[in-house]
């Protein structure tokens, strides 16, 4: 199993580290445009191998796509992150060009790859890959919902005063400060609806804190987060590499599911060796459906800015 991660910055390196620590991939290639940067990150990570007990071989390359040839999975994290006060959508001007060039270079050397898009604004970047490459739709996966759901569980556990391992829940919709839809109605503590433990008001606070999860960290860190994003990507990569058939909310091209068409948007999917093996069309209530419609409208407005 060969995995390429483009962008050896904060998220790319964190993702490579988590993939290696989980020890399921034979090879991870880190690629960056900055001279020597990916080589340095790869060497530093390889010097953790004996300490962390992994056998994955991590190599770094400067913009040499021939070294990424025949990757089973490619992850795109290249591009700029936001600064405090910015939205993810403001990154489109620079990141669209980067994602377009990187995805086509990757496919040139790995025509059968499965691609995971991380760069922001992620739903629009995933849509861009659909529109500008010939990869089939089940092989283009935008990562956002897995991270947002992890943040949702963190906030739920905080509100419940219990361990995160007790909690389950999902966030659908666009990966944006206003577009995320944390499904509090379906969230549970060991199978019991969280509404049995938390008031509507407290659940609303959980919801709002989840939606601004990325912005909150960006304000604290001066740039956007990387540990949970890297871990979330590694979870998707592992589900595909190990054919786990796990369910994650991911940004995928919709063709009628949830009443939406021609948009890459966050919905639950089953991930396995073929990439997206199934889009899970769950029954939502009217308020949730309305939120899906307005979140999708906001993503479409950003998609309209793409020069396709």
Ligand X SMILES: NC(=O)c1ccc[n+]([C@@H]2O[C@H](COP(=O)([O-])OP(=O)(O)OC[C@H]3O[C@@H](n4cnc5c(N)ncnc54)[C@H](O)[C@@H]3O)[C@@H](O)[C@H]2O)c1
- Which residues form the catalytic set? 175
Which of 156, 159, 225, 240 is the binder for ligand LMR (CB under 6 A)? 225
Q: Which does 143 bind (CB under 5 to 8 A by kind): ligand LMR, ligand X, none?
A: ligand X
- Please name which of 77, 98, 72 lies closest in space to residue 6, comparing C-alpha atoms: 77
Q: Decide: 60 and 40 in contact? Cβ < 8 Å.
A: yes
Contact positions with ligand X (CB under 6 A) in 175-214: 175
* 71 is an interface residue for ligand X by CB under 6 A: no
Q: Decide: 29 and 5 in contact? Cβ < 8 Å.
A: yes
Q: What are φ and ψ of residue 235, in 5° steps?
A: -65, -40
Q: What are φ and ψ of residue 274, in 5° steps?
A: -95, 5
H-type alpha helices, the chain: 10-22, 37-46, 49-52, 92-109, 122-132, 145-160, 200-211, 213-221, 227-241, 286-303
Q: Which is nearer to ligand LMR, 114 or 228 (CB)?
A: 228
Q: Decide: 126 and 251 in contact? Cβ < 8 Å.
A: yes
Q: Which does 10 bind (CB under 5 to 8 A by kind): ligand LMR, ligand X, none?
A: ligand X
Beta strand spans in 201-245 (E): none
Query: Does the annotation place 8 within a ligand binding site?
Result: yes
* 9 is an interface residue for ligand X by CB under 6 A: yes
Which of 29, 68, 74, 79 is the binder for ligand X (CB under 6 A)? 79
CA dihedral 245, 88, 226, 20 (to 10 degrees): 40
* 176 is an interface residue for ligand LMR by CB under 6 A: no
Query: Does the annotation place 95 within a ligand binding site?
Result: yes
Query: Does the annotation place 120 within a ligand binding site?
Result: yes
* 32 is an interface residue for ligand X by CB under 6 A: yes
Query: Does the annotation place 10 within a ligand binding site?
Result: yes
* 218 is an interface residue for ligand LMR by CB under 6 A: yes
Q: Which stretch binds ligand X (CB under 6 A): 74-82, 183-191, 195-203, 274-282?
A: 74-82
Q: Which is nearer to ligand X, 99 or 159 (CB)?
A: 99
Q: Which does 12 bind (CB under 5 to 8 A by kind): ligand LMR, ligand X, none?
A: ligand X
Q: In which element (H, E) is residue 204 found?
A: helix 200-211
* 234 is an interface residue for ligand LMR by CB under 6 A: no
- Please name which of 114, 169, 159, 153 lies closest in space to residue 136, comparing C-alpha atoms: 114
**Which residues are documented as binding site for NAD(+)?**
7-12, 32, 95, 118-120
**Which residues are documented as binding site?**
7-12, 32, 82, 88, 95, 118-120, 151
């Amino acid at each position: 199993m060969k995995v390429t991660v483009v962008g050896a910055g904060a998220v790319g390196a964190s993702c490579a580290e988590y993939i290696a620590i989980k020890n399921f991939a034979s090879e991870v290639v880190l690629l960056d445009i900055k001279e020597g940067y990916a080589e340095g990150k790869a060497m530093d990570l390889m010097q953790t191998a004996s300490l962390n007990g992994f056998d994955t071989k991590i190599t770094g390359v400067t913009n040499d796509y021939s070294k990424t040839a025949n990757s089973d999975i490619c992850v795109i994290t290249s591009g700029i992150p936001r600064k405090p006060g910015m939205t993810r959508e403001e990154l489109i001007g620079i990141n669209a060009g980067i994602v377009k060039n990187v995805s086509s270079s990757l496919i040139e050397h790995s025509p059968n790859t499965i691609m995971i898009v991380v760069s922001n604004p992620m739903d629009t970047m995933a849509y861009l890959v659909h529109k500008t490459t010939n990869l089939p739709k089940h092989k283009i996966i935008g990562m956002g919902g897995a991270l947002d759901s992890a943040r949702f569980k963190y906030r739920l556990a905080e509100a419940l005063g219990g361990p995160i391992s007790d909690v389950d829940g999902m966030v659908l919709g666009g990966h944006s400060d206003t577009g995320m839809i944390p499904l509090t109605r379906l969230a549970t503590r060991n199978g019991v609806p969280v509404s049995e433990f938390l008031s509507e008001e407290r659940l609303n606070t959980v919801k709002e804190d989840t939606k601004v999860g990325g912005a909150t960290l960006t304000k604290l860190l001066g740039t956007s987060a990387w540990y949970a994003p890297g871990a979330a990507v590694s979870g998707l990569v592992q589900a595909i590499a190990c054919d786990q058939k796990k369910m994650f909310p991911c940004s995928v091209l919709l063709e009628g599911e949830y009443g939406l068409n021609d948009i890459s948007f966050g919905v639950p999917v089953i991930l396995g060796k073929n990439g997206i093996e199934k889009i899970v069309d769950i029954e939502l209530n009217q308020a949730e459906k309305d939120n899906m419609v307005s979140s999708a409208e906001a993503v479409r407005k950003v998609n309209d800015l793409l020069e396709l």
